[in-house]
Amino acid sequence: MSVASKNERIATVKVTRPPERRLGAIQGTDRLLMMAEVSDLLGIPISTLYGWRYRREGPAGYRIGRHVQYQRAEAEAWIETQADHRPVL
């Protein structure tokens, strides 16, 4: 095989990229929140979130690699479950 024919063959190879994957609901405003963002949202230290995760309390989190992230809707729903429903005197 000559060098010219090998180069011609390489030049005719079409490079295609796989289609871009969309994550649906996670994109845009529904993106996952980092622990620091949930900490700010709740007004608590990050260490409290870690403690809650250890005791299986607090909002549901997702471990993605070595990071823990939260869905905003789930964090806000958890906040609503913590409402104090005692009657006002």
Which of 32, 87, 82 lies closest to 61 in space, CA to CA? 32
Does the residue 7 lie in any domain? no
What's the pLDDT tens digit per position in 41-84?
999 999 999 999 999 999 999 999 999 999 999 999 999 998 88
Q: By the 8 A CB rule, do 75 and 34 touch?
A: no
This prediction's pTM: 0.60
Please report whether residue 18 resides in a domain.
no
pLDDT band at 85 (very low <50, low <70, confident <90, very high): confident
How many structural domains is the chain composed of? 1
Q: What is the mean predicted confidence (pLDDT) over 29-45?
A: 90
Asked if residue 38 belongs to a domain, the reply is yes
Is 16 within the bounds of a domain? Answer: no
- Residue 49, classified by CB atoms within 10 Å of its CB into exposed (0-12), middle (13-18) or buried (19+), is buried
Pairwise CA distance, residues 23 & 13, whole Å: 30
Average pLDDT over every residue of 16-29: 56
Instruction: Identify the domain containing residue 59 by its residue range.
Output: 34-80
Instruction: Report if residue 17 sits inside a domain.
Output: no
Q: Is residue 27 part of a domain?
A: no
